[in-house]
Amino acid sequence: MRSRPRPGTEVFGEAWERLFEPAVAHRGLWSPGGAPENSLAAFQAACAGGYGIELDVQLTADNHVVVFHDDHLERLTGATGKLRDHTAAELGQLTLSGTDETIPTLADALTLIGHRAMVYIELKTPFGEVGELEKQVSEILLDHNGPTAVIGFNPYSHAWFAEHQPQILRGLDSYNWDDENARRLAPELRKSLAALEHVEIARPDFLALGLDMLPSARADLHRAKGTPVIAWTVRSAEQWDAVRDHCDNLIFEGFAA
């Protein structure tokens, strides 16, 4: 069952309706040995399959927005170092996972996708560095006529959009904050994030919650108040069946959603 409609959602137009369907391909419709994650080929495959698209963005050394998930380059390109220490031109020479695919810019990805898919743009904004990536992404979105949403884990990134670009649909990512990366944060902060106390700061239009938070009374409460919930990352039909009554959509990979 869809969560109760919220007042004011008409400002988001088609993006709000496409929030609920179709299902969303995590980093595009990629596969081992096939199209690499976060590649133009994966986005093309997702469009052909009729899916929405989730992708990750971060800034290069020369302030361009590129599509790439990891902080470091090695896993997907074999190169060493951090992505943020390289220029867009340097990154454009690297290939992904042994294919001919290269690291795309966000502008190139959106040009390829056009109006064919709803795009969920996850901003990889570190805590304490909010502003520049958000500004660059919002300027790119002004030239894109397809449905989009910005998502991410940093509540202050969402607060920036709420203040400067409120017409852009926003989805706050969260999970139980109990992995290796989260353990670098202070225990009090991790507990607050896991309890969704940062929703008040972020003021999101929807929540994108990890399967480790679903189902939960916290998520159900937000959904009952009119905040849609999207589950991530769903990797089997069985996982989706276990949470679908508590969600409005899913971000998936590894199976046909």
| pLDDT tens, residue by residue, 35-81 | 999 999 999 999 999 999 999 999 999 999 999 999 999 999 999 99
Average model confidence (pLDDT) for the chain? Answer: 95
Concerning whether 69 is annotated as a catalytic residue, the answer is yes
Concerning whether 198 is annotated as a catalytic residue, the answer is no
Work out the pLDDT band at 86, boundaries 50, 70, 90: very high
Higher pLDDT residue, 185 or 166? 166
Instruction: Quote the pLDDT of residue 154.
Output: 95
Instruction: Quote the pLDDT of residue 184.
Output: 87
Q: Is the pLDDT of residue 7 over 70?
A: no
Instruction: Quote the pLDDT of residue 31.
Output: 96
Instruction: Quote the pLDDT of residue 181.
Output: 85
Instruction: Quote the pLDDT of residue 3.
Output: 63
Instruction: Quote the pLDDT of residue 5.
Output: 61
Single out the catalytic residue among 64, 69, 72, 144: 69
Looking at the DSSP assignment, which residues form a beta bridge with residue 122?
Answer: 56, 151
Q: Is the pLDDT of residue 113 over 70?
A: yes
> pTM for the whole thing?
0.96
